[in-house]
Amino acid sequence: MGIWRKLLVSVVSIVMISSSVFISTSEHNTVEAASSYSSLKTSINTIMADSRMKSASTSVTVRKASTGEIVYEHYADKAVTPASTMKLLTGAAALETLGENHRFSTTVLSEGKVEKGTLKGNLYLKGQGDPTLLKQHLDSFATSLAKQGIKNISGNLVGDDTWYDKVRLSAGILAEDEPYYYAAPISALTLSPNGDYDAGSVIVTATPSNNGRKTNVTLTPATSVLQVINNSKTVPKGSKNTLKITRKVGTNKVIISGNSPFGTSGIKEWISVTDPTAYALDIFKKSLAEKGITFATGSKIVQAKTPENAKALTSRKSMNLKDLMIPFMKLSNNTHAEVLAKEMGKVVHDEGSWNAGLLVMQEYALSIGLDVSKWTFEDASGMSYSNKTTSSQLSQLLYLVRSEPWYPTYSKSLPVAGSPDRLVGGTLKNRLKTAPAKGNVTAKTGSLENIKSLAGYAKTKSGETLIFTVLTEKNKSSTIPVIDRIATTIANH
């Protein structure tokens, strides 16, 4: 683990010494745009005078997509926490490093042989990072094993998550976020509850039952790795809904509290598990049981490395990265970002760790000419408040990737303003819903407490594409309405 941290420090030190080789941007509050953009400059400056922007720490850059020429700046070199716009670098590095056709594998293996319906040995479920693994895939594994004549297993059910290291949470995860899907632990063997692929989480639903009684609680998929403590109550129709679902930090105890009015739909939360490997194994054992496959008395569920002599019994590969980029970027999936970081570390440096993965991202940024001395990050999703970059650097990234062969995939993965289809509009589905921004702005959103950002492309009235990056932090009130005015103004140019 330490070797990559030392290498990272070395890379950054070298670049800091020679940073003049890279992009040179001014520290001026605002600079004059090219004469043809003077009206745009005036319009954005008027918007920037909004009290919400004046009270925040902001960095804004607008540049021509065709040449990279900057046409507007406002503190372009100011370091700001980018939130999920960090995924713009993660996605680009992954497409370049892993390739559009990269797939994640999950394999079922055993070192034993089948004799009279009994598999004489352990059954191994080996994960290699697939964040799209669903219960239906484990069901398919079980069906395949049943077709191979396996009815009983004499050994243990073993989960192999050794493709990545054992560090489950990135450095920037706060305790208050840990119970929820967006801060789920990362494992090479994990499971998603549905087609959004929020790996390492379970959908917990609480709905009213009869008046005075506890709510009905369901888990999707049904798993015993979470312990439900139901302190909620169904109350008469018209009463206030105070239902809450959370998980006690550091435990598997899911707490259901509050009142659920009769006649309402209740609430639903995506709750993270503490051990994704144990979660996948629990569901796999249930899938096996549903196909009539049992384990011998004394068999256990354990976690260990698959022996070299084990042979594959069945396996699957995930969708390719080209397709995974859609739920990853459109829905701003944090788990996907962190899995991709570890996967890049594994592929390039044979170490599935954050240190190795973030080093690959640094190396990629350096290779395309970004000034890595102006980037600081301790995760790949943007969850950490310690992450920093500038609007100038982020917009330079968006300019440089346009010449990459995988750029069409990258571009398609960005949320499209105002599009009602959630796998098109994504996190911009309910923003910028009117002309001229609707359909003409494609951009990555970023959101943390008191931090809001938007970075991407806007097609203007004349058909020109402009790159814009707006980063804001220390917001006393949400800057989203102001950011959206900037995007609309650019599209209206």
Q: What are 282's two structure tokens?
A: 């629990």
Contact of 330 with 415, CB cutoff 8 Å: yes
**DSSP type of residue 226:** S
Helix ranges (H only) for 306-435 are 321-325, 334-349, 354-367, 391-400, 407-413, 422-425
Look up 253 and say whether it is catalytic: no
Q: Compute the C-alpha angle 469/472/475, nearest 5°.
A: 160
Contact of 458 with 436, CB cutoff 8 Å: no
Q: Which of 359, 379, 471, 480 is nearest to 85 (CA)?
A: 471
Contact of 363 with 10, CB cutoff 8 Å: no
| CB-side neighbour CA atoms (13 Å) of 405 | 5
Please say whether the dihedral angle defined by the alpha carbons of residues 302, 305, 309 and 313, taken in this order, is positive or negative.
positive
| CB-side neighbour CA atoms (13 Å) of 491 | 23
**DSSP type of residue 33:** P
- Residue positions counted in the chain: 493
- Report which residue type is found at 303: Q
Which position has the token pair 């400059």? 41
Contact of 301 with 122, CB cutoff 8 Å: no
CA 484 to chain centre: 23
Q: Which of 201, 260, 332, 395 is catalytic?
A: 332
Look up 84 and say whether it is catalytic: yes
Q: Which of 59, 84, 170, 395 is catalytic?
A: 84
Q: Which of 41, 78, 87, 135 is catalytic?
A: 87
d(CA 332, CA 150): 41
Q: Which of 418, 410, 395, 407 is nearest to 468 (CA)?
A: 395
| CB-side neighbour CA atoms (13 Å) of 449 | 5
Q: What are 329's two structure tokens?
A: 């970027």
Contacts with 229 (C-beta within 8 Å, 6 or more apart), sequence order: 253, 254, 255, 256
Look up 6 and say whether it is catalytic: no
Which are the catalytic amino acids?
84, 87, 332
